[in-house]
Structures are given as structure tokens and as C-alpha cells.
Amino acid sequence: MFSKLKSLREYFRVFLADNRLLFAGIRQRRGAKAKEYLLRRNIHRLEKGLRNPECRIPFGQAYAGQTERDFETYRSQLPPAIADWGDHVLAEYRQRHANPALPVEAPADVAIPLDAPDYASLRAAFAQRTSCRHFIAPAPAGDAIAEILHDTRHIPTSCNREAYRVLIVETPEKRDWLLANSIGLTNFTGVEHCTVLAFVADLAAVNHPRDRHVPVMDCSFASLLFALAAQSRGLATCYLNWPIRPNTDRQSRAVLNLPATQKIVFCLLVGHQNPALSSGKSPKSGRICKV
């Protein structure tokens, strides 16, 4: 009975801590970063409507005007690629509303159909990938990791918000603290030769409590693509479980200088696998059902 009460108490502690993070995001929505998230989401919604051949004109009137005004206010603070994308979408939106008879056309820079990758090679990469527990020197080059992270920006994210960050943790004290507080490092060797990545969710991008899982999804998509890309560069990876503990989350924000709306979802080790030691390969059942 006592253990059940203890578990229930811990559940409510985590629940309240998560809600404090969420409400912190709501309070900070007037900030520039939160405005960027909302702008990206609403511009993406307009773009989806413009690409729908059956869309009815007018559409998006509930948020289009505010989106235009916010875009003009915050455009200079947006990344150049996002600002150019917003210019293009909003200009097309105005043009379509002025002339609803305009046909819906795919952008000229998109190939339809897209060239399919070599699926056999991709399937082999899926089967080969394993969680590495034994690493050797040298540590992976920082430029190589940065390049892979740059390339994995093409992942899909919820409404194009990119509600996550990836931190390359290089400071020894911060790295040691992350490893000490992660779960699942038992029986690892050569961890000192790894680079530690922290995948961080930003709840400032959440517009409604029902969407609180969205930043976690974005972290997952990014990390999976990174792991496969790293494998193609001869680098091994392993996920580290991050505990859901309010005290640890508070400490992590202090250690990594994170805003109140951000929290670590998990960490990823990146390094060179020790060929003399096996990390094992667990069989996967493939839980596919038809309903």
C-alpha cells in the first residue's frame, strides 16, 4: 500500500511540474521565439490550404490577418530561409484571394514524383543499426556531427515549428553531469570517447495542452534520422533514457542554461564502436496489426 501511495505521489509531482512548464510557455508566448513558433505554424497552415486543389476561397480568415501583422513585426528576427518562405506563402495567399480562379500549381522547384532512394540500402541500414555500448578513441570530429545535424533539419516537424533543440555538450563538467543523471549506462566502456547530444523539447511552441507531446515527437524524428545518418558516416550511437524527475529537470535548466519552457527528452551518445566487443543485437517482432 505504501509503495502505491509513493508512486501516486511521484506521478502527481511530475504532472504538476510538466504543467508548470506548459504554463511557463503560455506566459512567454508574447516573446519573439514563441511568436516565431506561432508564425511558422500559421504560415504552414496557409501553405497547406494553397496546395489543396479543392480549397475554398476564402480560407484561413480566422488567423491570416494576425499572421500578416505578426510577420511584418517579427520578420527581421526570423532566420532568412523562414522569412523568405513566409514572404512567398503570404504573397501567394494574397494573390489567390484576389483571384480565386487561379489554378493550384506545384512549386517549380519540386520534382513530382520525387526520385525514390535505394530502398535495399535503406533497409540494410535499418537492420544493421544497433545501440552501441562499447566505444574507442578517437572521439568523433565535431565538424562531422555538426554536418549531420545540419542535414537532418529536413525531417518533418509538427506544423513546421521545429519545437526542439539539439545541444552538442562539450564542456566536461556539463557532460559528466548529464551522464551521471542519465539512465542505462551500466556496463558501457569507452564512454569518455563519445560526444553527448542532448535533445531538448521547447513547450513554448505548444498552443494547447492537447499538443504537449508535439516537441517530444520532433525530438524523436530528428534523433532517428541522425542515428541512421551517423551510421552512414561510420559513427555508432546509443540512446540514453532521461528520468522524469522535477528536481533533475530544474537542475538541468541550470546546468545547460535552458529557458523555463525547455526540458531534456533524452540524450544520445555518438562515437566509434569498439570492433573487439559486441553490443548485441536484439530481435524485433514488428508489431503490425490490421484493425
Return the pLDDT at 229. 93
Return the pLDDT at 16. 61
List 270's β-bridge partners, or say none: 195, 237
Query: Which amino acid belongs to residue 38?
Result: L
Percent with pLDDT over 70 in the chain = 84
Residue pair 40/158 in contact (Cβ under 8 Å)? The answer is no
Element (H, E) at 70: helix 64-74
For the cut 90, the answer to whether the pLDDT of residue 17 exceeds it is no
Instruction: Work out the average pLDDT over 117-123.
Output: 82
For the cut 70, the answer to whether the pLDDT of residue 13 exceeds it is no
Return the pLDDT at 9. 61
Band of pLDDT at residue 147, cut at 50, 70 and 90: very high
For the cut 70, the answer to whether the pLDDT of residue 110 exceeds it is no
Mean pLDDT estimate for the chain: 85
Return the pLDDT at 2. 52
Band of pLDDT at residue 50, cut at 50, 70 and 90: confident
Task: List every span in the chain annotated with CATH 3.40.109.10.
Answer: 119-273
Higher pLDDT, 165 or 13: 165
End-to-end CA distance of the chain: 38
User: How many angstroms separate the CA atoms of 194 and 197, rounded?
Assistant: 10
Return the pLDDT at 3. 59
Topology of the domain covering 119-273: NADH Oxidase (3.40.109)
Return the pLDDT at 125. 87
Higher pLDDT, 17 or 139: 139
Return the pLDDT at 106. 56
Give me the torsion for CA of 27, 32, 38, 44, rounded to 10°: -170
Return the pLDDT at 58. 79
> Which pLDDT tens digit goes with each residue over 230-283?
999 999 999 999 998 889 999 999 999 999 999 999 999 999 999 888 777 777
Higher pLDDT, 22 or 199: 199
Return the pLDDT at 248. 93
Higher pLDDT, 33 or 16: 33
**DSSP per-residue codes, 153-218:** GGS--GGG---EEEEEE-SHHHHHHHHHHSB--TT-B-GGG-EEEEEEEEGGG-SSGGGTTHHHHH
Phi, psi of 265 (to 5 degrees): -100, -45
Element (H, E) at 135: strand 135-136
* 133 closest CA partner among 271, 282, 283: 271
> Which pLDDT tens digit goes with each residue over 180-206?
999 989 899 999 999 999 999 999 998
Burial of 263 per CB tally in 10 Å (0-12, 13-18, 19+): buried
Higher pLDDT, 254 or 129: 254
Band of pLDDT at residue 150, cut at 50, 70 and 90: very high
Instruction: Work out the average pLDDT over 159-165.
Output: 88
Residue pair 157/221 in contact (Cβ under 8 Å)? The answer is yes
Element (H, E) at 281: none
Instruction: Work out the average pLDDT over 55-59.
Output: 78
For the cut 80, the answer to whether the pLDDT of residue 111 exceeds it is no
Higher pLDDT, 46 or 98: 46
Residues near 249 by Cβ (< 8 Å), separated by ≥ 6? 17, 21, 263, 264
Return the pLDDT at 127. 86
pTM of the entire predicted model: 0.79
Burial of 191 per CB tally in 10 Å (0-12, 13-18, 19+): middle
Tell the residue number behind the cell numbers 508566448, with chain if given. 29
* 45 closest CA partner among 106, 101, 90, 111: 90
